[in-house]
Structures are given as structure tokens and as C-alpha cells.
Amino acid sequence: MKAGVRLIEVFSSLQGEGLWLGQRHAFVRLAGCNLSCRYCDTPRSREASAGRSWSAAELKAELSRLFKGKKHDAVAWTGGEPLLQAAALPALMRWAQGRGVKNLLETNGTMVEAFRLVEPYVDLASVDIKLPSAAGQELWSEHLEFLRVAPKKSCVKVVLTARTTKAEWRTLIRLMQEAGPDIPLVLQPATPRGGEQPPKPEAALFFLRQASALLKDVRLIPQWHPVWGLK
């Protein structure tokens, strides 16, 4: 299968989080992930063997069908971790841009060499920085290297949980100051699932105030899909 990808699903919906909240996106959910976070909202996409293989022609045909039905602002390349299949993405992203649709890459920000392959075709990279309390491991150096590749195309999302500590928050702020204080930072309280709980409101506001005092663009945006009742 030439330039194919392994997908979980392709669907149209409103973007429920981040800087492009409320825009209509075509979501392309790719299979496989290199991490296993406690707050993951798509655990079935972690396995590289999940879903099925799609040819590039099949995926383009499905996206074209979605584009004909409604105006779409972007294709959200998500997962899992879409950069595990980075070799197939440049041609697909270039095709989307050729139809006047932007490319949003939703990534865990740990695969910098794979990101270099797709960066020319990415309009916005939503980089989900993993706090050790939620990811079970420290990935600070990987995140810093990743953000340095294209800081003007990146925004950072951090999922806040009841486990989030002040110490790791201070480390996050130092990382962002080094990577680029102009990079937008979105704080997203965890959506309760799988035993992972959001922080108390006063804790979320503390993290917001601390970040806002030292960074230029900090926003507190909950995940809206569950509120809207959308996929």
C-alpha cells in the first residue's frame, strides 16, 4: 500500500479544545502511540494494529466527501500519536492545503525528527506536554527540543489533574520560557474518566495565575466535546 496510513476513524465535528475551539474540523485519528498517559481519552488508538489500513486515495476520497457536505477550517491529524506515521503525512497535508484547508497536528511533542518531516505543511501544532504526574515519566528534554523546531507554529496544551504538583508546574514554566515565552499555553482540566480527576478549581486558578505572571498568552480552556455531547 503506497503512502497509506493505519486509521481508527475519520469524521467531521467541531474542535472541542485548544486555540481553534469551535471550528469545524475533519478528524483523522491515526493508530498507535509511544506513550500511555493516565488521562488518555482515546485508549483504543494506542495500539499500532488498531483500526485498518487506508490507502492515500481512500483517505482523500473520504475527506473530499466531508468537505463537500460542510465548510471545514482544518484537518486535525490526531491519534494516538500521528507522528508515528509521519512518512505518509506530508503528501496528505499538502493535498489538504491545496483545497484551502489548514492542518492541525495534535501531538505529544516527543518525536522531533518525525516532526521535521511534516513541519512545512503544519499550520498549527498542538503540543500536549506531559506532566510526569500524569504520564508516569519525565519528558522535559524531548518537549523542549520539539518546541524549538517551530515555536511560531506551536501552541502548548497541558492537561491538569488532581495529581499535578507545584514543582512540576514550575518546571513547565521554565521550559516554556526557554522554548519561547510567546508560545500560547492552554491549560485543560482533565475530563473525568478512567479514575483520573481534574484539579480543584482553586488549584487550576493557582496554576493559571502562576503561568500568566511569566508567560504572554495563557488560557484556561476545558474540553468541550463532553459538554456539547459531540464526538
Sort 213 into a burial class: Cβ within 10 Å, 0-12 / 13-18 / 19+.
exposed
| pLDDT by 10-residue block (mean), the chain, 231 residues | 82 97 98 86 83 97 96 97 98 98 98 98 97 92 96 96 96 96 95 82 96 96 90 80
Contact 2, 55 (CB under 8 A): yes
Predicted pLDDT of residue 1: 39
What is the set of domains in the chain, with CATH numbers? 5-228 (3.20.20.70)
Contact 185, 127 (CB under 8 A): no
